[in-house]
Structure 1
């Protein structure tokens, strides 16, 4: 599948070392990389459909200080969608109130027919991009019914419902940003970890160093972060994802279809 990363803090920090450790995992996730940094209320996004450790562009980025309060990164092991730039994470989209949303995903949607209608609207052909388009539609519907922009808490409550429903029979490790709030969700054991320190809040698919304070993200809950602190925490849903032989077979068949038998070479 993929690996995901975010850094959330109250002041801009340089995080090159963390990012370098994260991107070094791309030997097992060779199908693309992405980096999103919030600067002055807009995303600065770079991504390519190549292995991160082979990217001269990424080397150039990391040769200079990467400084930010809200930084997200992704390395891709494709399970749905071609190995092309539009399928690399992060994905971004505007809602009807011109709010910019960003999403990165580690997982696969095996069963959620409601996403199928977005296949003609997305720029690429991934289930992850369809998740974002679905969320945007639900936010637009809520705000149209309210006849006013949503509050931060209203958006968190809405995404709590959406994510709980999406997570049924699907692996849904998500990081989402709406310009105000960073949303974190995991529903598979031992697949997402966090480290809270004076520097800020780090979240990654695997611990990035030997610090003993890395802890698993609590399962089946949505968390909302601002300025390096959890400000919202949902109730727990019941949709833990457990990878079965059937899931593994479906993923392996897809990987063979795009890269033959040398997918990890």
Structure 2
């Protein structure tokens, strides 16, 4: 599967040290890397379908200060989709009100037929990109029915319904950003952690240093973050994902095929 990273804060911070530690895990996640930062209300996206440790482009980026209030990163261990640039995270898509959405995913969708129709629409061939297209369609339909843009609370409720349904029988560790609200979700034990410092959150698949204050993200809940604080927190759903031998065999077969 993959590793994911998110920084959410009320003020810009230089994150080179955290990112270098995160990308150092790429030996076990060699199929691509990605980085997204918000600059002047626009996403700046860099990604490549190669191991992060082997990327000169990433080295060049990290040789300069990486500063931001909302920063997302990903290293890929492919379970669905070829090793090509369109399959690298983050994914970005605009809704009908020209709001840009960004998504990174750690997991695999084993069972959710409603995503299948997006195979013809996506740029790559990953289940993760299909999730984003599905979200966009749901937001568009809500706003069409309302005949007005959604509020952040309405979007949170839309996302909550989606992750509650989509998480059944699927590993769904997600980080999503809609330009205002950062959404965090995990449904597998010991697969996503956070560190809270004043008005900032750092979230990653594994703790990035020896700080004793790293805590596991609560399972089966959707969180909404703004400026380093939780503004929305859902009730728990019942769809904890348990990794089985069947899942492991499916992943091994895919990795053999791409190798």
Query: Where on the TM-score scale, by shorter chain, does this alignment land: which range?
Result: over 0.9
SS at match of 1:159: helix
Determine the structure 2 residue equivalent to 1:25.
25
- Conserved? CA contact 1:13–1:199, under 8 Å: no
Determine the structure 2 residue equivalent to 1:56.
56
Aligned length: 259
SS at match of 1:122: coil
Structure 2 residues without counterparts, runs of 5 or longer: none
Distance in 2, Cα, partners of 1:211 & 1:198: 15
1:198 Cα shift?
2.9
Runs of 4+ in 1 over 3 A off after TM superposition: none
Determine the structure 2 residue equivalent to 1:200.
200
1:257 Cα shift?
0.3
SS at match of 2:89: coil
SS at match of 1:157: helix
For normalisation by structure 1, the TM-score amounts to 0.97
Distance in 2, Cα, partners of 1:87 & 1:199: 33
For normalisation by structure 2, the TM-score amounts to 0.99
1:200 Cα shift?
1.5
Distance in 2, Cα, partners of 1:31 & 1:198: 35
- Conserved? CA contact 1:5–1:72, under 8 Å: yes
Deviations 1:177-228 (A, max 9, x none): 0000000000000000000013611000000000000000000000000000
Instruction: After TM superposition, list the pairs within 5 Å mapping 1:220-235 onto structure 2.
Output: 220-235=220-235
Deviations 1:141-186 (A, max 9, x none): 0000000000000000110000110000000000000000000000
Determine the structure 1 residue equivalent to 2:248.
248
- Conserved? CA contact 2:104–2:176, under 8 Å: yes
RMSD: 0.5
SS at match of 1:119: helix
Determine the structure 2 residue equivalent to 1:179.
179
Structure 1 residues without counterparts, runs of 5 or longer: 260-265
Determine the structure 2 residue equivalent to 1:116.
116
Determine the structure 2 residue equivalent to 1:188.
188
Determine the structure 2 residue equivalent to 1:82.
82
Deviations 1:63-85 (A, max 9, x none): 00000000000000000000000
